Amino acid sequence: MGGFPTYHRAMIEIRDGTLQDIDILVAGSVECRRMLKQCIDASKRSRRALVFGYLTAVKLYDLPVPRNCGLDAQRVDVCVADQRKRTSCASLRYHYWSAPMPCNDIVVDGEVVGRIVDPVVACMQMSRWVPREELTVLFDALMTRCDVQKHMRYREIHRYLADTGLFAGKTKSRWACAHARMNTDSPMETRLRLTIEQGGIRGFEVNCRITHPNGEVWFGDLVEPELGIILEYQGAGHWTPDQGRRDSRKSLTLQQSNCCVLPITIDDLASETARTELVRGLRALIRRRKRLRDLDQLSFVVSIERLKDLEPEF
């Protein structure tokens, strides 16, 4: 599955005109670097340090760009806490944000040229401009399986919603927060999960750890642990020959272990008709697996463990 990009967690630093790898910075995507150049140019033209937020901050943090976003992707989003500080500039889009707005510095050759809102705030700001499902994708991107800060981000999201007054899109943010899941590894994984949940199907867990008696360990994208149903999204991350061979071996071994592996492609989520058919087929599969379980004919060679049961309380 094509995973979430690794987002920048704090200060963005430029030295001698190029991005430098420092302990809190990973090299960004092409889109991130393009956006960063736009922000630096905007700060130079305005002759003051701007606060970047909304879609601009999403791109700078290398978070997934939401689908069906109501913001113009060609303009730079600037935040102000005072309506009087908004100015007219064709390349900038000013937003008034009255809620708390913690920020991180953007530093060029040792000089602060701008600021960027915290990742959690950036996602909250997007709630007015994107569908609630895409907002859930953003929240999930802050809490990926391999991110050491996922528990902290989980607390920050909940704390911000609890401690902050009304802001545009807060109701949508609450919905997305309730439907976000820690340990998600890609935007399509989130979209797949929301599709089946909105179809009334419950019980699937995100990235369960699956251990074979031979010692091999895999992670299933979405897993029904009691029934041994594993949904695997076949996305961009599966395009290399090596990855394809690993996926084929994984699926074959799991099938031989009495699990049911169901490959999902982008076509299965491309339209309302396709999503309805996916849910219908999955319901039928669940019924068949439950009948086998009730007849005591459902046993697995592998062990399936929920990540939330393996991690410490937080």
The architecture that CATH gives domain 187-310 is 3-Layer(aba) Sandwich (3.40)
One-letter amino acid at 56 equals: T
User: Please, which residues have CB within 8 angstroms of residue 99's CB and are 6 or more apart in sequence?
Assistant: 121, 124, 164, 165, 167
Domain boundaries defined on the chain: 12-179, 187-310
Q: Are 44 and 137 in contact (CB under 8 A)?
A: no
Q: Which residue in 143, 146, 208, 227 sits closest to 177, CA to CA?
A: 143
Q: Are 79 and 93 in contact (CB under 8 A)?
A: no
How far are the Cα atoms of 211, 222, 305, 307 from residue 207, in angstroms, in the given order? 12, 6, 9, 7
User: Please, which residues have CB within 8 angstroms of residue 32's CB and are 6 or more apart in sequence?
Assistant: 5, 8, 59, 60, 61, 62
pLDDT in tens, the chain (314 residues): 455 554 444 344 444 444 443 333 334 678 888 898 899 899 888 877 799 999 999 999 999 999 999 999 999 999 998 877 667 677 899 999 999 999 998 887 787 879 999 999 999 999 999 999 999 999 999 999 888 889 999 999 999 999 999 999 999 999 999 999 999 999 999 999 999 999 999 999 999 999 999 898 999 999 999 999 999 998 765 566 777 777 788 888 888 888 999 999 999 999 999 999 999 999 999 999 999 999 988 888 889 998 876 665 54
Cα dihedral 234, 131, 205, 142 sign: positive
C-alpha to C-alpha distance for 151 and 313, rounded to whole angstroms: 9
One-letter amino acid at 261 equals: V
| Residue 221 exposed, middle or buried by CB count within 10 Å (0-12, 13-18, 19+) | buried
pTM of the model: 0.87
User: Please, which residues have CB within 8 angstroms of residue 49's CB and are 6 or more apart in sequence?
Assistant: 43, 112, 113, 114, 115
- At 243, is the secondary structure helix, strand, or coil? helix
State the angle between helix axes of 119-126 and 132-141 in degrees (0 to 180), rounded to the nearest 10: 170
pLDDT of residue 1: 46
C-alpha to C-alpha distance for 73 and 5, rounded to whole angstroms: 19
Strands 18-19 and 205-211: unpaired
